[in-house]
């Protein structure tokens, strides 16, 4: 799946959306993004009084203050924006890292790391002889990026001491188990939900079945088992 990137949306849902989430027995993690440091800080401040368990800062957004390159592609900027967000945030912060870097393990100061974000890709319409997306390039997600995501999660888990949330092409319980065995403390599922609205309950059911069949009481027993 290729999705067009570069959009800017600072809209924050009102109390009605929050009330809907509160009826579920689950943790609430809000993903935030922006094109300037001020964008991020404004959103963080507005969410500081909300009953939210964690903020996930997407730093793969175009950084208009520094020529359009994503925040996450500048090692110094990653550390800087993490520290600035931490000053304002009332909740723990997970930094969502871009895979389009030399060393994805760099994100000093965060409480957790989320990876990976989409990989930069492109499609060309041969009939129209034009790019398929307005920005020419876009974010490649879905099953195609899973091997890359899995390797980066494994690599990062071996390099940091904070929790890592693994994501990127997870479609099944087996996919989720691979990330957990690589060291992920949790996993996130995105693209699969567009193809199959029952993806999440099926994955959860698959994990429960695997644990029952293998006598596993807690996923911590197999987390990071691959070294």
Q: Provide the annotated active-site residues.
A: 61
137 phi, psi to nearest 5 deg:
-110, 160
Strands (E), 88-171: 93-96, 112-115, 119-122, 124-125, 130-131, 137-140, 164-167
Q: In the Cβ-directed half-sphere of 64, how many Cα atoms lie within 13 Å?
A: 11
For residue 48, is the peptide bond before it cis, meaning its omega torsion is within 30 degrees of 0? no
193 C-beta neighbours (distance < 10 Å), count: 11
* Three-class DSSP labels, 159-170: CCCCCEEEECCC
Residue 219 CB partners (closer than 8 Å, separation 6+): 180, 207, 211
Residue with tokens 């208009």: 64
Residue with tokens 């592609």: 73
């Amino acid at each position: 799946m290729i999705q067009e990137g570069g959009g800017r949306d600072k809209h924050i849902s009102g109390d009605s959306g929050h009330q809907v989430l509160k009826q579920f027995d689950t943790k609430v993690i809000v993903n935030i993004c922006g094109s300037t440091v001020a964008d991020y800080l404004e959103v963080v401040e507005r969410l500081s009084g909300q009953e939210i368990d964690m903020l996930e800062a997407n730093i793969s957004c175009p950084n208009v203050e520094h020529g359009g390159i994503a925040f996450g592609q500048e090692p110094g900027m990653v550390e800087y924006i993490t520290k600035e967000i931490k000053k304002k945030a009332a909740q723990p912060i997970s930094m969502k890292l871009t895979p389009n870097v030399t060393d994805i393990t760099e994100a000093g100061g965060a409480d957790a790391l989320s990876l990976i974000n989409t990989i930069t890709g492109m499609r060309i319409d041969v009939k129209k002889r034009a790019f398929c997306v307005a920005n020419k390039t876009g974010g490649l997600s879905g099953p195609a990026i899973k091997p890359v995501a899995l390797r980066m999660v494994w690599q990062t888990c071996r390099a940091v001491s904070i929790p890592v949330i693994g994501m990127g092409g997870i479609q099944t319980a087996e996919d989720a188990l691979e990330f957990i065995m690589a060291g992920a403390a949790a996993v996130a599922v995105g693209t699969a939900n567009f193809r199959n609205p029952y993806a999440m309950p099926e994955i959860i059911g698959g994990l429960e079945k695997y644990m029952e069949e293998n006598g596993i009481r807690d996923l911590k027993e197999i987390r990071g088992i691959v070294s």
